[in-house]
Amino acid sequence: MNLSKAQITELLQNEENEANLLRRADEVRHQFVGDEVHLRGLIEFSNICRNNCQYCGLQRNNKKLARYHMSEEELLHTAKQAIDMGFKTLVLQSGEDMYYSQQRMCKIIEGIKKYDVALTLSIGERDYAEYKAFREAGADRYLMRIETTDKDLYNRLDPGMSWQHRHECLLMIKELGYELGSGIMVGLPNQSVESIAEDLLYLKEIGVDMAGIGPFIPHPQTPLKNAGGNNLHLSLRTMAIMRLLLEDINIPATTAMESLHPQGRIMALKGGANVVMPNVTEGEYRRLYELYPGKACVDDTPLHCRTCIGAKIAAIGRKVGQGYGGHKNKMPQRIKQ
Ligand code: 5AD
Ligand code: FES
């Protein structure tokens, strides 16, 4: 449906109406994408990053964080384990780690796409030729949040980066035929509800296939350590409005929501979300991929999380999707055999 900026702002501000809003989003979710919850196995394969985003625990100035990246063999092994566990989509996520050159990434993508699995990349800003090569190697989807559409705020929070460039990357990704996932953080310092309303209209305008919305959680090793945030309820309202605006897209119940409340993802699944991205990264690496403190599930194993989330989904009368779970149930389209 269409909502004006003023209507969205009102819904964002109206705390008393939150239960109604989430219920409406849940109905729209049920009507347009059904009761299946699609799982994506998330592999956090490198916490090395060339950027210095002020909110992010992986920012390069955080010298206290032990850094890792998985070897190609480790990454493929992790992917295979997740596939054997039944995941039909894998998400490869990392900081902007240039160790993974175009050639290395393509090899990894080809290795994983030998299996029957949809593949999402979430590795940040690259150039057109790289996005094209990854797509040709078999990547189906790409995930990169715009974070905020307040350009001044973005440029302040992501020094050395440019909002315009990130926006252009999203357009390139879309043009190359990836399913496009984007999204924002809610509760950034100096982010107004009007600005969040504009974010939602932006995501509608560029036509995302997936929208991830999570609360900003201040990280003690960053300049924003005292910057507020932690706003679960505003994030849930934002997510619910996203569902009203884009009825049939994929919307994850985000880990950041779960990190603020033990039932955060369930609250999200009951308020418009239809995707969960359990972490399938193994061992020590889970703890080191510390975007924000208190991240849910860091001490658990992939199998534990898969079982846990399966039980939670069943407990609210939903079922785990058995397909690839693309937007509008599209099968991933190979562009090269
Ligand atoms: N709190 C919440 N989310 C964060 N992200 C990065 N840092 C934080 C934080 N401190 C989110 C960003 C990024 C995604 C991978 O994690 O939106 O795109
Ligand atoms: Fe990780 Fe429940 S999903 S412990």
Look at the chain and report how many structural domains it folds into.
1
Q: Which of 73, 66, 59, 141 is nearest to 104 (CA)?
A: 73
- pLDDT at position 328 is 79
Q: Measured from the CB, is residue 291 less than 6 Å from ligand 1? A: yes
> How large is the average pLDDT for residues 282-293?
96
Which residues are within 8 A (CB) of 150 and not within 5 positions of it... i.e. 6 or more apart? 191, 195, 198
Q: Measured from the CB, is residue 44 less than 6 Å from ligand 1? A: no
Question: Quick one: pLDDT band at residue 337, thresholds 50, 70, 90?
Answer: very low
The CA distance from 214 to 147, in Å, is 10
- pLDDT at position 334 is 61
- pLDDT at position 128 is 98
- Say if 20 falls within a structural domain: yes
- pLDDT at position 220 is 98
Question: Quick one: pLDDT band at residue 331, thresholds 50, 70, 90?
Answer: low
Question: Quick one: pLDDT band at residue 333, thresholds 50, 70, 90?
Answer: low
- Say if 327 falls within a structural domain: no
For residue 56, the ligand 1 atom closest to its alpha carbon is 7
> How large is the average pLDDT for residues 24-36?
98
Distance (Å) from CA 321 to ligand 2 centroid: 18
Q: Which of 289, 309, 320 to mutate to test the pocket of ligand 2 (most atoms within 8 A of CB)?
A: 309
* CATH code of the domain containing 44: 3.20.20.70
- Say if 337 falls within a structural domain: no
In percent, the amount of the chain with pLDDT more than 70 equals 97
Distance (Å) from CA 2 to ligand 2 centroid: 35
pLDDT tens digits, 302-327: 999 999 999 999 999 999 999 999 99
- CA-closest residue to ligand 2 atom 1: 305
Q: Which ligand is nearest to the CA of 258?
A: 2
| Residue 33 near residue 327 (C-beta atoms within 8 A) | no
pLDDT tens digits, 88-131: 999 999 999 999 999 999 999 999 999 999 999 999 999 999 99
- Say if 140 falls within a structural domain: yes
| Residue 81 near residue 302 (C-beta atoms within 8 A) | yes
> How large is the average pLDDT for residues 26-34?
98
- Say if 120 falls within a structural domain: yes
- Say if 326 falls within a structural domain: no
Distance (Å) from CA 313 to ligand 1 centroid: 24
Question: Residue 71 pLDDT more than 80?
Answer: yes
The CA distance from 12 to 21, in Å, is 10
Residues with Cβ within 6 A of ligand 2? 278, 297, 300, 304-305, 308-309
Tell me phi and psi for residue 43, to 5 degrees: -110, 115
Quote the pTM value. 0.97
- pLDDT at position 234 is 98
* Three-state SS sequence of the chain: CCCCHHHHHHHHHCCCCHHHHHHHHHHHHHHHHCCEEEECEEEEEECCCCCCCCCCCCCCCCCCCCCCECCHHHHHHHHHHHHHCCCCEEEEEECCCCCCCHHHHHHHHHHHCCCCCEEEEECCCCCHHHHHHHHHHCCCEEECCCECCCHHHHHHHCCCCCHHHHHHHHHHHHHCCCEEEEEEEECCCCCCHHHHHHHHHHHHHHCCCEEEEEECCCCCCCCCCCCCCCCHHHHHHHHHHHHHHCCCCECECCHHHHHHCCCHHHHHHCCCCCEECCECCCCCHHHHCCCCCCCCCCCCCHHHHHHHHHHHHHHCCCEECCCCCCHHHCCCCCCCC
Q: In what order do the strands lie in the sheet with 141-143?
A: 41-46, 89-94, 118-122, 141-143, 179-186, 210-215
> How large is the average pLDDT for residues 177-196?
98
The CA distance from 177 to 172, in Å, is 9
- Say if 330 falls within a structural domain: no
Average pLDDT of the chain is 96
Angle subtended at Cα 146 by Cα 140 and Cα 148, rounded to the nearest 5 degrees: 160
- Say if 246 falls within a structural domain: yes
Q: Which of 291, 292, 295 to mutate to test the pocket of ligand 1 (most atoms within 8 A of CB)?
A: 291
Angle subtended at Cα 13 by Cα 7 and Cα 14, rounded to the nearest 5 degrees: 90
> How large is the average pLDDT for residues 246-256?
98
- Expressed as residue numbers, the domain containing 219 is 5-318
Which residues are within 8 A (CB) of 101 and not within 5 positions of it... i.e. 6 or more apart? none
The CA distance from 85 to 82, in Å, is 5
Distance (Å) from CA 301 to ligand 2 centroid: 8
Distance (Å) from CA 163 to ligand 1 centroid: 16
Tell me phi and psi for residue 283, to 5 degrees: 55, -140
Q: Which ligand is nearest to the CA of 188?
A: 1
The CA distance from 23 to 216, in Å, is 24
